[in-house]
Each structure stands twice: as C-alpha cells, then as structure tokens.
Amino acid sequence: MFTGLIETLGTVTAVQPLGDGVRLNVRAPEILGDVQHGDSIAVNGVCLTVIAFDAAEFSADVMQQTLEMSSLSEIAVGSRVNLERAAQIGSRLGGHIVQGHVDATATVTEVRPGDKWQVLRFELPRSVAPLLVDKGSITVDGVSLTISNLAPAAAAPQWFEVSLIPETLSATTMGDMAVGDRVNLETDMVARHVARLAEFGMPLGGALAAVSTATHPTAGQQPTLTQHAPTAQQATTGLHVNPAQNGAEA
C-alpha cells in the first residue's frame, strides 16, 4: 500500500529482457538504506518487488501483463521514474490510499504553464472516466493528485486536468511531461468498489449494509442485506451507517 507521495526520482540503468517480461535496474540510493529483499517499491505507480539490491541500485522484474497494462513498456535506460516505498503503519497519510495497480493509461494532450503552477490535461479511456470526480483523487505515474477539471459525461474524448505547484513539478516526473506522453492511472479505490457494487444492482445504502453484515454475520446464518433507519443526526448529515457502529472511533 502506498500514499502517492513520491520519495525520490530514480534513474533506470538497465532493461534486461526476460522470457515473459523484463528486469529493471533502478538507481535510487536515497531510499535503499533499509531496503530488504522482497520489499515493494512503486515505480511510476506500479508496485514492483525488489529481487536484488546494493547501496545504490535495486532490481525488479516486470511481467508481460504489467508491461501491456502500463507505460513501463516504454521505459529505457536513462528514464527518470517516480519512486515510493510501501507506506508504514503509523505514518501520516499525506496523499490517498494507493495500491500500485494500474487501471489504465492516459495520454497528455495539453500542457498549460501558469505564473506559479502548470495545468496538464490527459485523455483517458471512456471505461475509466466514470470513476473520476471533480476535486477527487487520481494517481498519475504514482503521484497522488487532485482533479481540477474534467470533461462532461457526454464529451468525447474523455479528459481530466490537474493543476501542479512548483514543488510537484520539481520533485516528480510531472515537470518533464510533454504532449503525447503516456502515463499510468490508478483511480480511487472507493470509487472502484462502489462501481463494482453497482454492477450487482446494489444501491449505495444497501451496499454498505451488505459489507457490514458480511463482515459480522450471525453465527450459523448466511449474510443478509440489512437496511437500518437513519438516526436524526444521520438524516441531517445524509450519512447512513450501521447503528452498531455509532460512537465507535473511525
């Protein structure tokens, strides 16, 4: 699990073809002080496993399916990549929950410089567009970003924009982006779960009750879909939860 806050920029030093993928060598001494064999490192938003390392570089294998699903197939010796180690329990979650699983790739279609920021527009597959919301979170090449603008549902092609401050531009590969570049996208995990529940015809309130009942079923009984009447506070805020959880810490 990651946060989308890039720790350092690495440089690809080798791309070795394998029978069913490639092996990447990445130079990143800043994050290798406590690395262990088998650790997870997100490379441009793709969760990879460390198979070898020294004080300056680490190696990770990328299988063919991952190459086909992501922009890692375009990486070459000398490419700069965004790197983040797996999040630690107890550390601050400054970005949002990122799994390191790419949903799709998008293409840069506009780069608009501003006085103190830069706006990037990306074209994305229509199948992924419903998972994006205005001011929601999106992971672009491993970077947790806020969507500043997006296309109406009827628009074709579908697109979204992010507004980047100088810190993000200098600390990540976002500052290197040009029209035509392909990037990895990971949508918000909550949006993906809601979309999946909708495929089964579950309304949101019923879906939340189903999750609660499925995780705490009555002994000897199959989980059932349970609806609970909202409390006065819930009716005011619009937030409906399992009454058994009222008063519990989040």
Which has more confidence, 185 or 1? 185
Report the CATH number that the domain containing residue 152 is assigned in CATH. Answer: 2.40.30.20
How big is the chain, counted in residues?
Answer: 250
Asked whether residue 119 is domain-assigned, the answer is yes
Asked whether residue 230 is domain-assigned, the answer is no
Asked whether residue 205 is domain-assigned, the answer is no
From the number of C-beta atoms within 10 Å of its C-beta (0-12, 13-18, 19+), residue 81 rates as buried
Asked whether residue 192 is domain-assigned, the answer is yes
Which has more confidence, 191 or 13? 13
Q: What's the pLDDT score for residue 94?
A: 66
Asked whether residue 226 is domain-assigned, the answer is no
Q: What's the pLDDT score for residue 226?
A: 38
Asked whether residue 144 is domain-assigned, the answer is yes
Look up the domain containing 57 and give its range: 8-88+97-198
Q: What's the pLDDT score for residue 233?
A: 40
Q: What's the pLDDT score for residue 84?
A: 94
Does residue 40 register a pLDDT over 60? yes
**What is the domain count for the chain?**
1
Asked whether residue 159 is domain-assigned, the answer is yes
Dump pLDDT digits (tens) for 130-171. 999 999 999 999 999 999 999 999 999 999 999 999 999 999
Asked whether residue 18 is domain-assigned, the answer is yes
Q: Which of 75, 86, 102 is nearest to 42 (CA)?
A: 86
Dump pLDDT digits (tens) for 204-229. 666 556 545 554 555 444 444 334 44
